[in-house]
Amino acid sequence: MEAHGLSGGLGEDALHAIFRSSYAGRKGVSGPGDDCALLRPPAGRAVVHSVDQLAEGVHVERGTAPALMARKLLRRALSDLAAVGAEPWAVSWTVAAPPARGGAWLKRLARAFLAEAAVFRVAVAGGDVSRADALVLTATVFGLAPAAGVPGRGGGRPGDVLLVTGALGDAIASGRHLLPEPRLREGARLVERYRPHAMMDLSDGLARDLPRLCAASGVGASVRLEDLPLAPGLAAGEPGWRAALGDGEDYELLLALPPRRAAEALQDRVLRRTGLRAMGSLEEGATVRWLTEGRRWRPGKLGWQH
Residue of 69, 74, 84, 214 interacting with a copy of itself (CB under 8 A) = 84
Which are the contacts of 294, defined by CB distance < 8 A and separation ≥ 6? none
The whole-angstrom distance between residue 79's C-alpha and the CA centroid of its chain comes to: 3
Residue 235 CB, nearest approach to a copy of itself (Å): 29
Provide, rounded to whole angstroms, the least separation between the CB of residue 120 and a copy of itself: 16
* 55 lies in the binding site for a copy of itself (CB under 8 A): yes
The answer to whether 129 touches 4, Cβ cutoff 8 Å, is yes
Output the CA–CA distances (angstroms, integers) from residue 44 to 84, 115, 168, in the order listed: 17, 29, 37
110 binds a copy of itself (CB under 8 A): no
Handedness of CA 82, 274, 280, 52 (dihedral sign): negative
DSSP assigned state of 305: -
96 is an interface residue for a copy of itself by CB under 8 A: yes
Quickly count: other Cβ atoms within 10 Å of residue 84's Cβ: 23
Which residues lie across from 280 on neighbouring strands? 162, 223
Using the rule CB under 8 A, which residue among 14, 65, 67, 136 binds a copy of itself? 136
- Contact set for a copy of itself, span 218-257 (CB under 8 A): none
Site for a copy of itself in 115-134 (CB under 8 A): 125-128, 130-134
CB of 88 to a copy of itself, least distance (A): 11
Binding site for a copy of itself (CB under 8 A): 2, 4-5, 33-40, 46-53, 55-59, 80-81, 83-84, 86, 92-94, 96, 125-128, 130-134, 136, 138, 140, 143, 145, 150, 152-154, 200-201, 203-204, 216
